[in-house]
Structure 1
Amino acid sequence: MRKIRLVALALAAAAIGYYVYHAVTYVPTSEYESAGMGWVGFEMALPIIALTLVPIVFAFTGEGIAAAFTGHNSSEFRAGLTGLGTVESVRQTGLTVNDQPQVRVEFSVEGVDGKSFHAAAKLIVPLTELALLRPGVVLPVRYLPGRTDKVEVDLSGDASAAQHAINESLIRKGITTAHKLDIAERGIATQAVVQSLSVTGMIRDGYSEVELGLVVTRPDGSTFATRVTKFLAPSTVGQVQVGRIVRAHYLPENESEVVIALAVNA
């Protein structure tokens, strides 16, 4: 985007320069023609076009606007690292594209090394999705190690990279283990009904530990009962209320270990 802007400025400067040069070096073709006619020839269109196109180029290459049209991250961030951005605040910038507002989102970002930093991103958000972008929502973001003040919401569509970032974060915080993630990856995918819910009182990095009584359905339709302890974020507690159906994974050789999967931004 910066290169496009520089090219636009260079062309504008060349157009205006040529117009001025033509005007000051103009030689009248007859004694009745004024020397000032050099300023009003067809060359006059060059600075007008330049002064019209440059603001348009700058507008359409603004932060978050190009991504709205292309659906991809900028080339600068496309190969950046994937981190987890927790929305802290959202405000509109006053700019709209096709009646869709541009917003500035302040994030608390957890990088691949586990360190957190504050950063901001600008993006175009459809009005129908604006209400979904609220404080506490977690989004995968792309960032540059040497520049942590600015990020871009990850538009690559690579769900595996985002899930890997979430998993690594949960392991670092002690919320889950590599063994449980292995069960979630290799285990049988099924459903379970929450029969009971109790809070143990243990809190880890803002996550509360709960003990769930589950009735898990096997692939053949039979069921078995088990108990699971899990650390939950406050926003996900509503997903495990008694009577709720949750996604679960288990290994057939060890039905005592069941892993449940919950949506991060439910």
Structure 2
Amino acid sequence: MKNLSRILWTLGFIMIFGTIMYLIFFRDTTSVDFFDNSIFRIGIYGGIGLLVISSIMSFVGTGNMMRIKNGEAALGIIRSLAQTGTYINQQPQVEMQVDVIKKTGESFQSSLKAIIPLTQLSALQIGAPIPVVTNEQQKVALPKAGEPTLTQEEMQELFEEFAVKTGMMDSEALKISKEGITSYATVIGMRPENSMSDAKVNVWLDLEVALKDNTTQPVSIKKTVLQEALDQVQPGKVIEVIYLEHDPEKLVIKTKNVAGAVFGSALGDK
């Protein structure tokens, strides 16, 4: 469909351009006005028609997403993603394989397609959570305006449960998230153990953690950080953490969900 659209657009352009050149350089100067010339009518109007048809075809079957009727809100976790080669308004269409987790805890694998702004494409990474809508047939799409979505708290809870079940997060980290004290820490140093271009990067972080009693405590901790979130843990950054009151060295880091922001932007005008 995409290739046919491009061919029709090219033919339409050639017809219009060729007709104009012919009438300027080769037409009989004694003939009637341009608009009464049969070559003009066929070439120009035919070319315009092909351009219109090609524009319509470029959108057929390449929408940002399908609509799920009577869908329910769920959480999606990106397993893989790749560009399809389709562009709408110069923005790429991306196909994602996702793990879908429903409110009931039921999970399954599916796929979806979405148009993502080119400047934000690099923010999408494997393992990132995104909001989705699904139905009994396990069809999945991104939520459009007016469709149900999970609250941030619901997404966090489903993500944590799934992460522990699949080994993405250990049970201790989940316990800290639920029982710990939310605070802030300043990143003093960051030392990666593997390539910073990998989807997940193991890093040692030297932190200055602000405690409940208004004192600070230095903490060195090893964490696995999604590549998309590396800029959030650079030296000098202030990050949100959750620590155990009786043992501040046991903490979890709350990085911003960049993927969620990207999809929020992609869906903002829908």
TM-score by length of 2: 0.54
- 2:75 is aligned with 1:109: no
Deviations 1:188-228 (A, max 9, x none): 1111111222223499x942211111111112321111121
CA deviation after TM superposition for structure 1 residue 92, in Å? 5.6
CA distance in 1, matches of 2:201, 2:91: 36
1:53-68 matches, cutoff 5 A: none
Alignment CA distance shift 1:156-1:114 (3 Å): closer
- 2:169 is aligned with 1:171: no
1:1-266 matches, cutoff 5 A: 75-77=69-71, 79=72, 81-85=74-78, 88-89=82-83, 93=88, 106-112=95-101, 116-120=109-113, 130=117, 134=121, 136-137=123-124, 138=128, 139-144=130-135, 146-148=137-139, 150-153=140-143, 155-201=148-194, 206-265=199-258
CA deviation after TM superposition for structure 1 residue 142, in Å? 1.7
One-letter amino acid of the counterpart of residue 204, structure 2:
E
CA distance in 1, matches of 2:249, 2:138: 46
Greater share of residues in strand: 1
Q: What's the counterpart of residue 21 of structure 2?
A: none
CA deviation after TM superposition for structure 1 residue 179, in Å? 2.1
Alignment CA distance shift 1:76-1:120 (3 Å): farther
Task: Determine what percentage of the aligned residue pairs are the same residue.
Answer: 19
Alignment CA distance shift 1:202-1:184 (3 Å): farther
TM-score by length of 1: 0.55
CA deviation after TM superposition for structure 1 residue 103, in Å? 8.7
Q: Which runs of at least 4 in structure 1 moved beyond 6 Å after TM superposition?
A: none
Unaligned runs of 5+ in 2: 1-62, 260-270
Alignment CA distance shift 1:102-1:207 (3 Å): closer
CA distance in 2, matches of 1:195, 1:156: 37
> Counterpart of 1:111 in 2: which secondary structure?
strand
Q: Which one has more relative contact order, counting CA pairs under 8 Å at least 6 apart?
A: 2
Deviations 1:214-250 (A, max 9, x none): 1111123211111211111111111111121111111
**Aligned alpha-carbon RMSD (Å):** 3.8
In the alignment, is the contact (CA less than 8 A) between 2:64 and 2:93 conserved in 1?
no
One-letter amino acid of the counterpart of residue 111, structure 2:
H
CA distance in 2, matches of 1:172, 1:253: 27
In the alignment, is the contact (CA less than 8 A) between 1:89 and 1:135 conserved in 2?
no
